[in-house]
Amino acid sequence: MRRRSPRKATGALRAAVERVQPATLLARVQLAWPEAVGPAIAACSQPVGEREGVIKVACASAVWAQELDLLQPEIVSQLNRRLGAGGEGGGSPVAGLRTVCDPTLFSA
């Protein structure tokens, strides 16, 4: 009898995460955030809320909040690309960002 070689756990883990994560826009954005914005921005910002397609993003400083405001069109475009824009009604899931400064979330 021949043994099967070990398989990567990536597929099984991804499926498990998809099954247990809440089916909300915020949860989907939180999952896509690091890849959409890159490691530097992800290290000092995180999506913390959502209302009518506008994502509330907490930032480590006012400077980062302003930077994300300036980068908003590109970030929204990246998020919608990763989330598969064109859901119900053909609109994009993420309409915009609202940044707030909350350094307490990022203190070590």
Q: What is the pLDDT of residue 7?
A: 78
Chain Cα centroid distance, residue 37: 8
* Paired tokens of 89: 């009604």
Domain count for the chain? 1
CATH number at residue 78: 3.30.300
Mean pLDDT of the chain: 88
* pLDDT higher at 65 or 15: 65
Residue 15 domain-assigned (yes or no): no
In a domain, 6, yes or no: no
Using one digit for the tens of pLDDT, what is the confidence trace for 38-62? 999 999 999 999 999 999 999 999 9
Structural domain boundaries, residue 43 = 23-106
**Is 17 part of a structural domain of the chain?**
no
DSSP bridge pairs for 57: 47, 99
Q: Is residue 77 part of a domain?
A: yes
Q: Which pTM value belongs to this model?
A: 0.76
